[in-house]
Amino acid sequence: MQSTKELSPLLREGKLELHCINIKIWQEDGVELFGHGVIKINKHGVLYLEFICTQNNNIPSVMFSEKLPKDSLDEKEKFYLECETISGDTLKASGFSVEFSLSDRQPPNIKNIILSNLQCEEIEEGDDNFLYFEFSEYCDIPANKSNSETSTLGYESHSWNETVIEMDKFKISIIDKKQYTYCRVTGVFDVEQVFECLKFYIGFTSGSMLQPIFIVKRNKQSQVSIIKSISNIQKRQRSSNPVPSTYGNKRVETDYHYQIFRNIFELYKVKPNFFESIYSQWARVWYSFQSKNSITILTLSVAIEGMLNDVFIPKFKQLGVNDHLDEEILRIKKLISEIEIPTAQIDRLKSSVSYWKNITAAKSLDYLVQLGIISQDEKKSWSKLRNASAHPKTKEMNAASLEKERDNLLLCLNLFHNLIFNTIHYSGPRHYWAVNSTSPLKMLEHNEINEHSKQLLRSET
In this predicted model, what pLDDT tens digit does every residue of 86-123 receive, in sequence order?
Answer: 999 999 999 999 999 988 888 999 999 999 999 999 88
pLDDT at residue 63, rounded to an integer: 78
Assess contact for 28 and 81: CB atoms under 8 A: no
Q: Is the pLDDT of residue 252 over 60?
A: no
Secondary element (H or E) of residue 430: strand 428-431
* pLDDT for 106: 86
d(CA 445, CA 377): 19
Give me the pLDDT at residue 72, please: 86
Kindly state the percentage of the chain with pLDDT values over 90.
64
pLDDT at 221: 78
Rounded CA separation 275/263 (Å)? 10
pLDDT at residue number 153: 59
Mean pLDDT, residues 303-309: 97
**Residue 367 CB partners (closer than 8 Å, separation 6+):** 312, 316, 321, 359, 457
Cα distance between residue 257 and residue 143, in whole Å: 10
pLDDT at 312 over 80: yes
Give the count of alpha carbons within 13 A of 188, CB side only. Answer: 3
Full-model pTM: 0.90
pLDDT bucket at 354, cuts 50 / 70 / 90: low
| Phi, psi angle pair for 213, to nearest 5° | -90, -25
For residue 279, how many other CB atoms are within 10 A of its CB?
A: 19
How high does pLDDT run on average in the chain? 89
